[in-house]
């Protein structure tokens, strides 16, 4: 057999191969085309032995050229397809760092905590320290050292929650933050300028005006030569920092741990004393109690009442966000825990 038919077939095979390679749209299609081309070239090669011996080298040469041409075309096409596939993968995996992510709503502090911190800030600005104490107290710190002897009628007003621990009615949930005053005076010598915010507990059913858990802040000053004038001046400065241009009012009262004692009021910051719903049209808002530290309290903590004098005042923290935000119910503020409501403040 002459060389011509196989040379023609090689050249046809290249033509077919180049078209198949150009048509391959992805790497799998290209590999399939290469397999078919290889098969065709292998078939041609097998037939070389039927060509006249003198012409075989011409066929071999033509076949080699055809194979090289097909291989070069396949390699070039593979390069193109790999580049396209890489670009597609990159596009698929691309992170758009400018995209807006899923929204997380950032919360904020509870209105009571906000006021708590504001009060601490005001007193820190006046040079006071902030102290804390245990919420589960003993009778000594909560009552006896504060001049509530056993059987004293003022104890009955405190609606105490007792803890079933130790002797009966000796361990309790503190009914006020005053035991921290005792702990402070027991643990460090005067002068003391301190505030004590914290959670307090009484046996109350939650409603608009009552809560078994509430928050108080107390202030204690013990130093030489402290007078009622220092107490009134401090309260006035403090009220102005908290409410703006207001006056303090002191009405005689009784507390076991202070003598003399006074109810503490502030002129209504919402109506400038002309009367509004918040102040029940009285022009004044009662906030808490105050007085000069009773000598019996000094005696309980081993301080000489002849040498030291001091004042204390305290009030409920929860009242302030209620007043400021015209919230009617303590229950709404402390118990409902409705984020839609709390979000406003």
Written as one string, the DSSP assignment of 255-319 is ETTEEEEEEEEEE-TTTTTS--TTTTTSSEEEEEEEEEEPHHHHHHTT--TTT-EEEEEEEESTH
How many other CB atoms are found less than 10 A from the CB of residue 59? 24
Residue 271 touching Zn ion (CB under 5 A): yes
Least gap, CB of 238 to Zn ion (angstroms): 20
Other beta carbons within 10 angstroms of residue 168's beta carbon come to 8
Closer to Zn ion by CB, 61 or 274: give it: 274
The residue count for the chain: 345
CB-CB contact of 222 with 185 (8 Å): yes
213 binds Zn ion (CB under 5 A): no
Binders of Zn ion: how many residues, by CB under 5 A? 6
Omega within 30 of 0 (cis) for the link into 191: yes
Closest distance between Zn ion and the C-beta of residue 266, in Å? 10
Which range, of 2-10, 58-66, 279-287, 310-318, touches Zn ion by CB under 5 A?
A: 279-287
Should residue 276 be labelled a site residue for Zn ion when binding is judged by CB under 5 A? yes
Nearer to Zn ion, 176 or 319 (CB): 319
- Rounded Cα distance, 35 and 18, in Å: 13
Span from 116-124, 127-135, 278-286, 301-309 in contact with Zn ion (CB under 5 A): 278-286
Choices 70-78, 174-182, 262-270, 321-329 (CB under 5 A): range interacting with Zn ion: 262-270
Min CB(277)–Zn ion separation in Å: 7
**In the complex, what is the shortest distance from the CB of residue 286 to Zn ion, in angstroms, rounded to a whole number?**
12
As measured in angstroms, the least distance from the Cβ of 291 to Zn ion is 26
- Which is closer to Zn ion, CB of 214 or CB of 243? 243
CA 26 to chain CA mean position, Å: 52
Q: Is 268 in the site for Zn ion (CB under 5 A)?
A: yes
Nearer to Zn ion among residue 113 and residue 282 (C-beta): 282
Q: Phi and psi (nearest 5°) for 106?
A: -85, 125
Minimal distance in Å, beta carbon 281 to Zn ion? 7
**Closer to Zn ion at the Cβ: 232 or 276?**
276
Residue 279 interacts with Zn ion (CB under 5 A): yes or no: yes
Indicate the residue among 213 and 276 with the shorter CB distance to Zn ion: 276
With a CB cutoff of 8 Å and minimum separation 6, the contacts of 187 are none
* CB 275, min distance to Zn ion, A: 6
DSSP string, 167-202: STTSEEE-SSSHHHHHHHHHHSPSPEEEEEEEEEE-
Residue nearest Zn ion, Cβ-based: 268
Q: Which is nearer to Zn ion, 2 or 274 (CB)?
A: 274
Greatest CA separation found in the chain? 137
Q: Which is nearer to Zn ion, 310 or 321 (CB)?
A: 321
Asked if the peptide bond before residue 239 counts as cis, ω within 30 degrees of 0, the response is: no
Q: How far is the CB of 342 from Zn ion (least distance, A)?
A: 25
As given in the structure block, the two tokens for residue 85 are: 């596939």
Binding-site ranges for Zn ion (CB under 5 A): 268, 270-271, 276, 278-279
């Amino acid at each position: 057999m002459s060389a011509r038919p196989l040379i023609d077939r090689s050249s046809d095979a290249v033509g077919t191969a180049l078209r198949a390679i150009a048509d391959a749209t992805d790497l799998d299609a290209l590999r399939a085309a290469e397999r078919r081309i290889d098969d065709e070239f292998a078939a041609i090669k097998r037939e070389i032995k039927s060509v006249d011996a003198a012409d075989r080298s011409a066929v071999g040469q033509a076949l080699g050229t055809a194979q090289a041409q097909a291989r070069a075309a396949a390699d070039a096409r593979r390069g193109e397809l790999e580049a396209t596939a890489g670009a597609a993968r990159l596009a698929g995996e691309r992170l758009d760092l400018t995209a807006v992510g899923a929204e997380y709503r950032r919360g904020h502090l509870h209105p009571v905590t906000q006021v708590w911190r504001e009060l601490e800030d005001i007193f820190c600005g006046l040079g006071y320290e902030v102290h804390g104490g245990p919420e589960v107290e003993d009778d000594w710190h909560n009552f006896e050292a504060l001049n509530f002897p056993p059987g004293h009628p003022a104890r009955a007003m405190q609606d105490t929650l007792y803890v079933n621990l130790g002797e009966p009615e000796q361990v309790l949930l503190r009914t006020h933050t005053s035991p921290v005053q005792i702990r402070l005076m027991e643990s460090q010598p005067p002068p003391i300028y301190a505030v004590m915010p914290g959670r307090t507990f009484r046996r109350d059913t939650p409603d608009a005006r009552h809560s078994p858990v509430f928050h108080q802040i107390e202030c204690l000053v013990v130093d030489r030569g402290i007078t009622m004038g220092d107490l009134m001046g401090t309260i006035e400065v403090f009220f102005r920092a908290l409410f703006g241009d207001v006056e303090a009012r002191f009405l005689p009262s009784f507390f076991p741990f202070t003598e003399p004692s006074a109810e503490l009021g502030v002129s209504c910051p919402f109506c400038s004393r002309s009367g509004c719903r918040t102040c029940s049209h009285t022009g004044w808002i009662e906030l808490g109690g105050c007085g000069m530290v009773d000598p019996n309290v000094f005696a309980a903590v081993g301080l000489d009442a002849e040498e030291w004098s001091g004042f204390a005042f305290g009030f409920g923290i929860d009242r302030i966000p209620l007043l400021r935000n015209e919230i009617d119910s303590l229950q709404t503020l402390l118990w409902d825990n409705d984020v839609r409501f709390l979000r406003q403040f």
